[in-house]
Each structure stands twice: as C-alpha cells, then as structure tokens.
Amino acid sequence: MNSPLLEVKNLRVEFPGRRGTLTAIDGVSLAINPGEVLGVVGESGAGKSLTGAAIIGLLEPPGRICGGEIWLSGRRIDQLPNAEMRKIRGREIGAIFQDPLTSLNPLYTVGEQLVETIMTHLPLTAAQARERAVELLEATGIPAARARINSYPHHFSGGMRQRVVIALALAAEPKLVVADEPTTALDVSIQAQIITLIKKLCREHGTAVMLITHDMGVIAETADRVAVMYAGRIAEIGAVSDVINRPQHPYTVGLMGSIPSIAEERDHLAQIDGSMPRLNAIPPGCAFNPRCPQAMDICRQRRPELSASATSLAACWLHESPASIGEQR
C-alpha cells in the first residue's frame, strides 16, 4: 500500500463577515495515493471547489483556512507563506479549471504561456522549454502541435483549449492535479477524450488527481474512489463501484436514484426534496436531516462522524449500533 501523496486532515474554511463568520468547509478529511483518481461530487454549494481551492492555496479573500492540516508528500503546506506556496503551485500541484478561457491569457500564444510556465519551474533553456511545450501539446492530443503552438487561445475550440490547459497543468510534471469540473463545458464526445487523457496521465506518470465534478457519469468512468460532499462535509467516501451500486448514506442514495439507467425502465426518476442549506442556516445535527426520509431524533441533535458501513465510510446514524446511539445521547 502506497503512503498517501495528499492528506487533508479536519480541514475547516471560514468566511468572516459583518454579520458573523460562515463555515463553508467543516472538518473534511481525505487522502489520495500516487496514481489514484479521487472523485469529489455533490450539489452546488456542497464545498467541492472550495476544498480544491484550499489545497491549491487559491482561496478567495475573505475565505481562510482556520483549522486542520494539508500535507503533500509528507510536507505540511497549508501554513506556508505565499511565496513558498507559489513555488509548489505549478511545480508539485497542477490545476485544471472549468472554463479554459479563465486559465489562458488571450494576449499571448499558447506556446508563450507554456514556455513561461516550464521555465519558471524547470531548469531548461528557452529552446528546450519550447520543445517540451510541443511534446505536451502532442501528448494532450493537439493536432499539428508544432504549428499550432504559435496560435492564440481564441484560435482553438473549447475542447482544444481544455487540452491546452491540461498541458499547462502538466508542464512541470506535478505530483498532484486538482481538476475542477474539467469536462462540464464540453460536449459528450470531447468529455470522453478528456477522461481518457486524465486516466492516461495517472497510468503513465503516477500522478494523483482530485477530480471535482457534479457528473456521476464522469466519476464512474474516471475515478478509483469517490467522496460525496454535503454542506461542507463528507457524507460518504469509498470505492466508486461500491458508492454507486451500494450507497450507504441517504443523500448518496438520492443522488444515485436521480440518475437515469439504461438497464431498467422507470416512469419517474427519484428526487431529493428541498435544497442545500445556506451557510448561515445549516441545521443542528446532521445537515441533511430536513431532507432525509429516514431521519431520527438523534439526527436532529448530534452530528454523525464518518464510520464504517457495509461497503464504505458514511456519516450517518443508520450505521451506528443502538448502544452507540445511546452513548451519544
């Protein structure tokens, strides 16, 4: 068993404001091994992207890490000065964002942007960096890469721009890539190509990937394990096949039930009544209890922690023994 490349321990992210402090991430813990893809899924507002931004060190002010630890390759990085974190970002941690246009400077060719990134992090000459840039574009599936390296971002289609962003993320051979909705803006055929590219990256380079998405289809095709987030916490985490086929948390059950299946005919898809609570209105106990069809009294009083269920780790009182629930009371 490999030791984890990334370890997040009890991460807490807050947003202080005039009307009080809002807790956006509350005690998130996860680990990713080299060469592994961890999918992070949940509704909008669950805290997926904030968790990724905290790991990369790109939290937007006034957001701040106020608790927990983030370790990369045995080194704690959440308390590093900005200058030190900039050296790690790009060199050891790559990032792929949803909209490639926000990651690319429209005033510079893709080659200039790749060469600058490579030379910032690797001891290469300009000529060597340009050759590596061509190799990266070829590896990510850009046709006629040597000619198109002189093109500007607007000369590329959406799918090709995303490939350029992936090339940028891989420019310095990072150990970890945080991919935030990398396929959302792309059509299905391009999504499949990007998924194949991410899997190839893990297989050939041993890169760990944190794949943030709301698309369970992408998770099923790409990830080894999946963490389901709800209201700033992990509701369930386990192997993809287990979480998809045998979900243990009522929220995960609802998510899986809302996905169409070609294997069976159904008149109606399941739905989860209600919506994700606002940060200033998270209920006591389990945050999912107002929407949960199996909620008990303890769910409204005490917050469950992740514990072993039949196939995964789930934060749900349904998997606690009656004796344990009695002790919690």
Percent residues over pLDDT 90 in the chain: 66
The structural domains of the chain, ordered by start, are 6-92+174-328 (3.40.50.300)
Least confident of 77-86, 212-221, 277-286: 212-221
Q: pLDDT at position 321, please?
A: 60
Nearest to 116 by CA among 155, 158, 81, 167: 167
Nearest to 199 by CA among 215, 219, 226, 228: 219
Coil, helix or strand for 158? helix
Q: How far apart are CA 258 and CA 272, in angstroms?
A: 8
Beta strands in 20-113 (DSSP E): 20-32, 37-41, 64-72, 75-76, 93-96
**Across 11-15, 189-193, 315-319, which has the greatest mean pLDDT?**
11-15
Q: pLDDT at position 58, please?
A: 92
Name the band, by pLDDT with cuts 50, 70 and 90, for residue 130: very high
Tokens found for residue 97: 């964002």
Element (DSSP H or E) covering residue 211: strand 208-212
Tokens found for residue 12: 């807490």
**For residue 3, pLDDT beyond 90:** no
Name the band, by pLDDT with cuts 50, 70 and 90, for residue 68: very high
**For residue 329, pLDDT beyond 60:** no
Q: pLDDT at position 235, please?
A: 97
Are the C-beta atoms of residues 47 and 21 closer than 8 Å to each other? Answer: no
**For residue 326, pLDDT beyond 70:** no
Tokens found for residue 149: 């390296």
Q: pLDDT at position 322, please?
A: 56
